[in-house]
Structure 1
Amino acid sequence: MTDYDMDAPLTAIRRLMLESNGIITIAFRRAFIEKGIGKPNGDIGQDSYDISNNWMTSPYSHIEPAMAFQIGLPILIFREDGVIAEGILEQGVTGLYMPEFNLDKQINYFDTLEWTQVIGKWEGHVRSVVQNKGCPPKLY
């Protein structure tokens, strides 16, 4: 059983967002760019830039947290090392810390102090959403 329905994907995502109190997104590597140029109509060094040997993630790793951000939900995004840091995956765009991870390393991230601090802060924001959802709306 899934929470998704047969509507257009964005409609289904919006419905899920309205029923949620927060979102965690994991931007895994999905498509490898062996050789590529961003803004290819410019010369390298001016407007264009090299994106060779990088990864792209699923577009939903951008769409879902952006939709959550627009309605004020706490978001926590993890970006796999090598995934291009653009859009909502760019450090500082949402104002929240975005941990990077590397699946090739043998480190258990969930045993680190960083994980405890990051998830604790996110959890505090989620608890505020739960609390505020029970309050009447404020006009100002």
Structure 2
Amino acid sequence: MNELDVFVSVGGTATDKQEAFVRAVEDRLRSEGLVPHTVGRNTFSSDAPLKTVTELMDKCSGTVVIALERMYFAEGFDKRGGEKQKALSDVKLATPWNQIEAAMAYSHDHPLLMVVEEGLKSEGLLERGYDWYVQWVQLDTASLNSVEFNGVLASWKSKISESHKQKQERKSPSAEIDPTQLTIGQLISGLKPAQLWSILVILGGLIAGSFALGAKLIGGT
């Protein structure tokens, strides 16, 4: 199978351990014939981030979300000052870009592979129960060789292969379509507005000419 491009959502790493884990995921993807692309990591643009992400996702067949600890709060409160105030401790949050890019990938119909660091706050699209499976892992390369990871990766890879195939079929040249097999309605619906207008003008001229010819013949009899 030819190499397929995949989008990888991951924030800038803060520690050597995080960097080693991200590199291990990227290497694993490459070993599977998948080319990882991350804005700000191996793909750069002078455009605004959201525009760059959108354009890059258009070229990719699937998305991997690697959610790592970005912020840590030893103590805090949920709904502070209200009746439902709740004390929090040891809260670890991922970059909000994981949530943004996961939502964008879903809107692009990308199969999602969610890899989330153990201990992160389970919220938003990093929670289980949606159209994708969330894997909670330790930041250890051994996590990428587990039975669970291998199984989920194989399933996800199959989905992106099918997604890529469908994209290619949609991009197939219209010249391959046999017009003799199409109905009048299908032929008309496939015309551009300018083409349809030109045909209507020609038909109108033919109809007008027919009436004129008929009137001339009747008048001459």
The TM-score, its normalising length taken from structure 1, stands at: 0.84
Structure 1 residue 17 corresponds to structure 2 residue 51:
no
Q: 1:110 aligns with which of 140, 144, 147?
A: 144
Structure 1 residue 98 corresponds to structure 2 residue 150:
no
Alignment of 1:29-108 (within 5 A): 29-43=69-83, 46=84, 48-93=85-130, 95-103=131-139, 108=142
Structure 2: distance between partners of 1:54 and 1:6: 35
Provide the alpha-carbon RMSD of the alignment. 1.9
Q: Runs ≥4 in structure 1, deviation > 3 angstroms?
A: 48-51
- Gaps of at least 5 residues in structure 2 are 1-40, 172-221
- Counterpart amino acid of residue 135 in structure 1: E
C-alpha deviation, 1:107, in angstroms:
7.2
C-alpha deviation, 1:136, in angstroms:
2.8
Going from structure 1 to structure 2, the CA distance change for 1:49 and 1:92 (only over 3 Å counts) comes to farther
Identity across the alignment (%)? 27
Structure 2: distance between partners of 1:107 and 1:22: 22
Higher relative contact order (CA 8 A, sep 6+): 1
Counterpart in 2 of 1:122? 156
- Counterpart amino acid of residue 14 in structure 1: T
- Gaps of at least 5 residues in structure 1 are none
How many residues are treated as equivalent by the alignment?
A: 131
C-alpha deviation, 1:81, in angstroms:
1.2
Q: Greater CA deviation, 123-132 or 109-118?
A: 109-118
Write out per-residue CA displacement over residues 18-69 of structure 1, whole angstroms, 9 at most, x where no aligned residue. Answer: 11100111100111011122222423xx3x4444211011111111111000
- Other structure's SS at 2:64 match: strand
